[in-house]
Structures are given as structure tokens and as C-alpha cells.
Structure 1
Amino acid sequence: MTHDLLTPVPLSPALLRGALELEDTEHGILPHRLPGWARAQNADPQLAMVEAQSSGVRIALRTEATILELETWRSRTAYAGVPPRPDGVIELVHHGAVIDHSVTSGGVTTTIDMRTGAVERDVDRTHVARFAELPAGVKDLEIWLPHNETTELVELRSNAPGEPVASALPVWMHHGSSISQGSNAARPTGIWPAVAARLAGVQLVNLGFGGSALLDPFVARSIRDAPADAISLELGINLVNADLMRLRAFGPAVHGFLDTIREGHPTTPLVVISPLSCPIHEQTPGPGAFDHEALKHGVVRFRATGDPAETASGKLTLEVIRTELERIVAERAASDSNLHLLDGRELYSAEDAEEHPLPDALHPDAATHQIIGERFAAAAARALGPFHAAADQAHHH
């Protein structure tokens, strides 16, 4: 099996995990984390961009191959005057451990000048991630796609046939903000939901959307209609960042979101995660904005621009949202024993913010993603936690 003659492995939907829909494009296949009907109801370019980024999406195959190549076409967005994000990483996983990786290159980069609105496009070539000298014999491999780039799959090639692997692990569907998508994590298996899924022995479907956990009804319907053995929702920070709604609208929107999910998953363990600690927004409403003083020095930082006094008229802060989520979940849990609240400060607290500060005042760094993932897996596996059934099931397989 050492010969170097590589042949294409058909990229059938059965090979892909973590995507809700696959789109055929001019380059190949684009995994989407929202279905087409939901995308059609969205007019926000931010959500359109992030749902097409492949956070948590991976190719899973069983093969005797000792050489694999994945050719991809990436799309990136950059902002003039803002330091570029690091390149994406494609990781190869065997037996739960990363055995190789490839840093992405090429593709198309769109640079937006936020001052003038000017847009520049730089087009390069495809990227080939090559993984050679793989262990001999039949093995199950996963290729994790970048969490922070749009990745179109052009071709998968290997020196032996590959076939889909059915997984017996329970499916955990998670929805949240950029922290859940993996902002500031260094690699796709290092985002906190991937860390937690690995520790808990569950299969991740990550609907973490940067800037876009906004209680959109089409997201609730997407969760309702998808298979899931456990569901979690990290809610709050984006509603404050975007200054999207007032307290009067927030409560009913949360109820509606939960009602919709319960239509398809009436008894599935469901945990609502209130906001993680974020000092700038604890008592100060949004909107959030770039800190232009920091940008002058080439540093990306965010700040809250609202007035704390406006909470009296219903403006949202993280403290307001935590109180309201506690009330709503407590009320509903009286008749829904599978609904739980996890205070986000158990995952990242004000003390953590002192010890592991948010580098840009909004997103945890790579090391903190690991800590949050470990804490979530522990919280979820507690005797009364929402995922003990999933954890038990995983141990039996």
C-alpha cells in the first residue's frame, strides 16, 4: 500500500459530519451549517458568511490509505487596517488524536475598507493538504476543516479506497456565538465545543455563528428538524453586541425559540447556557464597536458603547440577560424536566477574566477554549446534568 498512485474518493454526503446541507459550487462541494430554506430567510451578510464557515465540519472515512490529499478552495474576509486573522488549519485525527495538520493558503481573500466601503478581491490557487506516511492497515480517520474560513471541497484523493464510517456516538447539537464557533482558537479541534465533544464521547454538530446567535426563528427550526440526542444553546452576548432587542422582546423570543425546538425534540436533554463573563458588557449595553485607539496600534479590541443607565428602559446587558434566562428556564423546567440552565460564568468567570483575559475584550484565547471545553464536559456529565444520558450511552458503545 505504499505506492503513490492517488485516485479520487467520491465526496458523498455520508462522508461528511457536522454540516446540515451540502451545496454544489463551481469549485466542488460547500458544506453549510444552515439548510437552504433557512439561508433564504436571512438577509444579513455576517450570518451568511459565518454559517458557510466549516466550524465542526469534518470528513470521516475508513481506509487502508497511507497517503491522503484534500484539495480545497478557501474564502476569507479581511478588513483594511485590521491585522489579518491567522490562516485556517486542516487537521487529521486518528483515535481522537491529531496526527497531522496543514495550514491553508490561496483561494480568494475579500478585503473590506470599513471607512470607505471599498472592496478588493485577491484570487489565488487551490490548497492541497497532503497527509503521508499514515499508519498501515484499516483505520478510521477524520479530516477537520477550518473553523474560521469558508472551505469548498474540490477533491479527496488517496492511495486506497475510502468508505463512510457510521458513528454510534450520540449527536450533540450546539448553537451559540463566535465563542462557540471558535473565535481566537488556533485550530478546528481546539474550539471549545470540539474539546467538550471529545471528552464527553459525543458527535458534535456546531451551530456556533460568529456575531449571529440572535434568536432567529429559522435557526430554531433548523435545530428542531435535525437529529439530536442532546442540545445546548449559548445565548446572550450577540444580542448585547448588536443592540438588537429590548427586554420586552427578549423573553418572548427565548420562549418562542425553545417552543420551536421542543416541537421536534420534546424530551431531548436541552441546556441553556447564559452568557460567559465579558467585563465590557456585564453592565454596559451595546452596541459593541472596534476600539479605534487600539486599531491605530495594530491591535484588535472591542468596546461597549451603550449607557448603563439605559437598562432602566429595557436595554440589554449580560447581567440583565442572565437574570431573565434564569427566570424563563426555572418557569419552564417546572413542566420540562429535561430543560436545564448552565450559568456561563461556570465556564468563564470574572476571576478567569483576571487570570486569562480576553485578548480582544470579547473572545477567549486558544488556551482558554481548552479550559471552557473541559468545564463544559464536566458540567454536562454531572449526575443531574443534561448529557449524562449521552455520556452513559457513549460508554456502552
Structure 2
Amino acid sequence: MSAGSPTPDANIRPSDRRVSARIGAIAESATLAVDAKAKALKAAGRPVIGFGAGEPDFPTPQYIVEAAVAACRDPKNHRYTPAGGLPELKEAIAAKTLRDSGWAVDASQVLVTNGGKQAIYEAFAAILDPGDEVIVPAPYWTTYPESIQLAGGVAVEVAADETTGYKVSVEQLEAARTERTKVLLFVSPSNPTGAVYTRAEVEAVGRWAAEHGLWVLTDEIYEHLVYGDAQFVSLPVAVPQLADKCIVVNGVAKTYAMTGWRVGWVIGPKDVIKAATNLQSHATSNVSNVAQRAALAAVAGDLSAVDEMKTAFDRRRQTIVRMLNEIPGVLCPEPEGAFYAYPSVKAVLGKELRGQRPATSAELATLILDEAEVAVVPGEAFGTPGYLRLSYALGDEDLIEGVTRLQKLLAEAR
């Protein structure tokens, strides 16, 4: 279990425990909870603007939708297919990985999953034994520690802040390593901060992991969303000697505006992929064939639609960072990837605001929703209190209106 997780009470009979200790220790996804609350308030007639969910506001490109329509009409998609994914999709993912990352993999190294979350859990489940430690740089996406815990591992957090661009150093990683350390979680571009490691930084981290015989799970879901001079670098490409102990998770959700289609994948050594496929064969079996056919059209197609979305995200990125940094007490480093801003609000906490003195970023986020009708996710959800995460994957007008409301509200802090 991760640090701070409750342990079963020995005095309680198993038959009296309505929810298992393992599942009872899992927290609700904070980002989905904020998004659900924002949508419920909007449905009730309140003009809430939501910065909570990491979900592109663009529709899925039409050629992908048409591929799904055609798949619905084809009876072969009405039946079970291999649990690990359609063979042609696995081949296309391997080809896409070589095209986009420069990493040559075989289709037998690919497992198609029900979105990135299943990919992450199954990857950890395939390699972790009870008590194995996973080094988790913070701020982290909310699902990582919970997946580690479900897989029997222990998340060991290593914190970075705005002074380092939210990037951890090799020295910090080494300080966290113990004899129980088995895996390093590495994410660039990052959710929630938008941090992107340079090639030199990726190489240094990879060499450190290889030197100590560690596994690395790296999440590349935002690989195409980098801005300015930043460059996405795939870890097993930068450090080839690590490839046999490296697992990559990815998916179509962010790149192709396909969050609701639920198609992700795991790439790794064949024995690990076989083990994870066996797990999936019992957990969910094959991903929806219609969604897989849509994903096939996405990964086999060009990136022109992706480039259009990226241009819009870059424009919004610059706008939100500028506007947030105009707020007294708010400091927002410029994110180089993904579509999130992660401002520090530590200088705002404790000040009087609308008759309250929010002491934590969670309390501040609640006040912002109640008073400004703007939904943001507090830093507590990502392992670093004192921050807010704002997704800028929403329309330009809503973005400007939402941050303007924030500016007006937080300007009152005294």
C-alpha cells in the first residue's frame, strides 16, 4: 500500500467488513470528481466554467468517426476478438511508435487496453510484488499512486516545485532509492504540470535507472503536445540499454480528442506483455471492436488534425499563463507540454477572501467554485498542496472568462 493507506482492523471480522480494505483505501479520482461537480452545477443552471478535466474540447476528427461507423456495420466486429487487441491495430501501434518515437517494437510487444488507466494498472500489476517500491515524482497524476497500491506496490514520492520547473533530479531519485525499489515512474510531458524534460535530463534519468537495474514505466500520452523549443524524447530511445526493462503506456485520448473512446496501450518486453494480456483476458477481455477500429484509423493516419489542435492549445497556453501571472500572489511557470497550467497559490493562502481564510489549496478551490463559479483541481490531488491545476483544453472564450473571474476574486484577498 502507498504511504498513509489504511490497514485492515484486526478486531473486525471479515464478514462484518462491507467493503474490502484494499478497495476502501482507494480515493475517488479528484479530477473526475471536480469535472462531475462542475457539470452538475451547469446542468442546474449555474454558469460554471470548468478547468478540471484533461479533455480536449475538439470533436474527434471526422475520418476517425467514419471508421467507427463503418465498423458498426461490419458483422465481424460484433464478435469477440483477441483479448490483447486486434492484430492489425497492434501492428499499426508498432508502426506509429517507430514513426513518432523512433523506437522499433514488434506487435507482440503491444497490448491494447481500455484507455490509459487500464494500461497503467495492468503494467504495474504485471511487474510488482507486494511491498515493491515505485518512485513517483510529484506533482503526479492522481491515478498513479492508486494503481500502484492496487497492484500491491508502495508509492515513494519525490517532490519537485516551481523552482525546478517541476522536474526532479537524479540526486533526488537516488536519495529515494532503497533495496525495495523496483520501478521508476517517469512522465514527460507531465500531467499536471506540463513539464518537459530535456534530452540530456531524460538520458541522465535513464542511465541512472539502468545503472541500478530498475524498471521504468513511462507515460507518453502527451507526446505530441509540446510547445516552443521543447522536444519530446522517448526514454527507451534515449537510453537503449534500458529498453528491456522499460514499459511505455500511451493512447489515443489526448492526441486525437478521443477521451470517450477508451483505447490505450502498453508496450514492453514480451514476457511482461504476455502476463498483462493474461490479466486482461480475465478482467475485461477485448476492448470494444468499434473503438479499436476508430483507433486504427487514428494511429495509421497523418497528424494534420493533431497539429491544428496543438496550435490552439499553444495559443491558450500563452494566454492562461499570462493572465494567471497577473494575479497578485499567484506564480505560474510556463508549461512546455500537455495542456495544463499548475500555478502556485501559496502566497494567497491564509488571506481573507469573501469572509473566509482558506488555509489549503483544497479550501481555496472550493471557495473559487462557490464564489466565482470556476472549477479547478487543488494540488492536494497531485501530491503537492499549495497549487491549482487548470486545464486549458477548453474554448478560448471560456478560458478568458474563467481566468478573468479568478483575477477578480483573488484580487480581493487581503
TM-score by length of 2: 0.32
Relative to its length, the structure with more helix (as a share) is 2
Q: Which has the higher contact order (CA 8 A, sep 6+)?
A: 2
